[in-house]
Structure 1
């Protein structure tokens, strides 16, 4: 295999693996902040137990996420030096702000929160977890500022073969950013909410600390409903933006080989024949794609073949068609997973409000399995976003083939890929072991400590 193929494989492995932890970090800390706010406002110890219990799981996820993020930076420097040189003058500012402000904000006040129980006032302690939540959100914002530039370059000039920032304001007001960021952030809230709801369902099935996990489930279901619905709304707006910003990605996600001049049908499923640039079969809903793209039954949607001819004229000879089958199916898997999340969240909130959770054992078992739904949706969304942009690393400016490190041989990339995979495998085992170990405990369980008094044993676990 070539160094380009191996570098792309390594990028995909490290990015997808790292993004398993990021949404849960962003979403779970928000739920913990809500729980501790309820504790400070009501002085109800149950909310304190909830914040401490979910905080332990958050810390495990946060620690592994940091490690995987650092390793992702290594592979950029090793395998994508040409890409790094091209975008470095643009990415420098947002990534510096992310590291120096957002990451230090969340890591510093996370320490205050972990070690500050009963050492600082309740309000200061509450402020610390909200600052962690703000820090994780800001971190996502600045990372997505860089990614939005890759999708839709703005605020730059090209000098001496690389992009230079000409307007920081244009970078942070990028239309792509303000659709991509809320979509990712609401998806992260949904991930945290389904994580809490699923584990709460696990304990409710076993009747562990029912008072704690019924309240945890109710908070999680409420946030899951709001976040899942808003993901769909913002995702719809983002898809409409693709019609003009990245029409080839839009066409590939719909397997639309030829332009539909007025009434574009939406393809539910299709047999995609990329070699012949056609679909062997398709189940379609008339007018639906025009409605999705323009909120009306009439609207022209460009096809893959016509866009390919247009891009050849604009950018020169080459293949500008992304892997259509992967883009098409990843989009649909994301949509189906998101739809199931909305339905489960709505029913979960209804059952919680009607106090029917403990009687709905089949639903509780479903919610345990549904923990994986947002992970599936998040992963498929990023696959569609990044693969649908191909062959561009930076749309319209730098092709992926020109971003790879020219002097790094394939053998070296393969060696580092194996090394990363081995480390990631170890991290996966450690992460799953720790999560399972601590999620099986429940807040009312006594602490195991040789010097603990009987009174202390009856209290909630502390960090």
Structure 2
């Protein structure tokens, strides 16, 4: 592989690994917020336990995922300084907003939510998790705004060989953004909901003592999965109306797109026409639980296929018909330099991904007992043990 292909591979692999964390964060955040709302309104220990259990999984994924995002930032200066030089004034604007939202607002509100148990007023504590959700979605919006600019460069002009931002509003209303952002949000909801379904199926199949806990969790997951896959499919098809001629012509993009559409349609049929109508009996039908568990990782696979199709479909352009990928690459890079950084990044991000899923699996296997999130110093048992 030449240096350009190595640099592209590096960004593709690290971007895919990072997106695995992102798509689960976007799905779990609103689910935890809904559970916390139920607890705040009802005061039932069951709803508190659900908030703490699924919230703990969210915190694990967020904590490890935030580190992988830093690697993405490094790569723009490391491997793609041509992009920063040519369009940094435009492309960097939404990314700067995303940094402010993610690293300041989202992290602050999440910290208040984590350490606010028993300290903040009930409704202020609830507001924190909803603000975490909203800032997570705002962060995703700005990232997609930056990515959509690469797909369809609007709101800018070329002056003195560089692109300058002249209309920030056009950047935020880009036709490549208005359908792709809801598509990503739907994918996140579907992914997070299927984690609820798969984890609940695992616990119910092993005849857990917390039957009501995981029955309600599974039903919540099925409903949100149906909503998520409906949004994903609807806005996914809507994007084709605005696709520029020539995109998805290369083999990689076409194959990824084909697999995503076919498997996405199949999953949509299963969720909407089988799981949703049988929502009352699925928790009791133990023979279906292995199937639901096998389905759990499929939304992650579809999300990566969608990302690959979107990025590969733009090739050979970094900015559509404005800047080629070759011109966007940093000058002076050698194959050895990129190979070394690729090995290091993949090793670190791969390790973080493994640790993330090991910790999540261990938490799921342990079930709603000995929960660290929200535990008080003198707590001798969690509310979940009384279910």
Are residue 69 (structure 1) and residue 95 (structure 2) matched?
Answer: no
CA distance in 1, matches of 2:160, 2:8: 26
User: Which 5+ residue runs of structure 1 have no aligned equivalent?
Assistant: 253-322
Are residue 409 (structure 1) and residue 304 (structure 2) matched?
Answer: no
Q: CA deviation at 1:366?
A: 1.1
Secondary structure (helix, strand or coil) at the match of 1:201 reads: helix
The 1:429–1:101 alpha-carbon spacing in structure 2 relative to 1, beyond 3 Å, is: closer
Name 1:168's counterpart in structure 2: 168
Secondary structure (helix, strand or coil) at the match of 2:354 reads: helix
Q: Show the 5 A alignment for 1:388-407.
A: 388-407=313-332
Q: Cα deviations across residues 347-397 of structure 1 (Å, max 9, x unaligned)?
A: 223222x3x124322322111111111111111111111111111000010
Name 2:271's counterpart in structure 1: 345
Name 1:428's counterpart in structure 2: 353
CA distance in 1, matches of 2:382, 2:37: 24
The 1:181–1:452 alpha-carbon spacing in structure 2 relative to 1, beyond 3 Å, is: closer
CA distance in 2, matches of 1:392, 1:458: 54
Name 2:9's counterpart in structure 1: 9
Q: Show the 5 A alignment for 1:249-328.
A: 249=247, 252=249, 323-324=250-251, 326-328=252-254
CA distance in 1, matches of 2:270, 2:128: 32
Number of aligned residue pairs:
380
Which runs of structure 1 show a deviation greater than 3 angstroms over 4 or more consecutive aligned residues? 444-447, 458-461
Whether the aligned pair in 1 keeps the contact of 2:222 and 2:275 (CA below 8 Å) is yes
Q: CA deviation at 1:83?
A: 1.3
Secondary structure (helix, strand or coil) at the match of 1:176 reads: helix
Q: Show the 5 A alignment for 1:72-111.
A: 72-111=72-111
The 1:239–1:456 alpha-carbon spacing in structure 2 relative to 1, beyond 3 Å, is: same
Q: CA deviation at 1:45?
A: 1.5
CA distance in 1, matches of 2:128, 2:11: 34
Whether the aligned pair in 1 keeps the contact of 2:95 and 2:142 (CA below 8 Å) is yes
Q: CA deviation at 1:409?
A: 1.6
Name 1:457's counterpart in structure 2: 381
CA distance in 2, matches of 1:426, 1:216: 29
Name 1:318's counterpart in structure 2: none
Return the structure number with greater relative CO, CA threshold 8 A, min gap 6. 2
User: Which 5+ residue runs of structure 2 have no aligned equivalent?
Assistant: none
The 1:340–1:181 alpha-carbon spacing in structure 2 relative to 1, beyond 3 Å, is: same
Q: CA deviation at 1:444?
A: 4.5
Whether the aligned pair in 1 keeps the contact of 2:98 and 2:142 (CA below 8 Å) is yes
CA distance in 1, matches of 2:75, 2:183: 26
Secondary structure (helix, strand or coil) at the match of 2:276 reads: helix
Name 2:221's counterpart in structure 1: 220
Which residue of 273, 277, 285 maps to 1:360? Answer: 285
Larger helix share, 1 or 2: 2
Q: CA deviation at 1:336?
A: 2.4
The 1:64–1:385 alpha-carbon spacing in structure 2 relative to 1, beyond 3 Å, is: same
Secondary structure (helix, strand or coil) at the match of 2:126 reads: helix
Q: Show the 5 A alignment for 1:32-181.
A: 32-181=32-181
Normalising by structure 1, we get a TM-score of 0.79
Comparing 172-181 with 421-430, greater Cα deviation is found at 421-430
Whether the aligned pair in 1 keeps the contact of 2:195 and 2:296 (CA below 8 Å) is yes
Name 1:330's counterpart in structure 2: 256
CA distance in 1, matches of 2:377, 2:39: 25
Whether the aligned pair in 1 keeps the contact of 2:17 and 2:353 (CA below 8 Å) is no
Whether the aligned pair in 1 keeps the contact of 2:218 and 2:283 (CA below 8 Å) is no
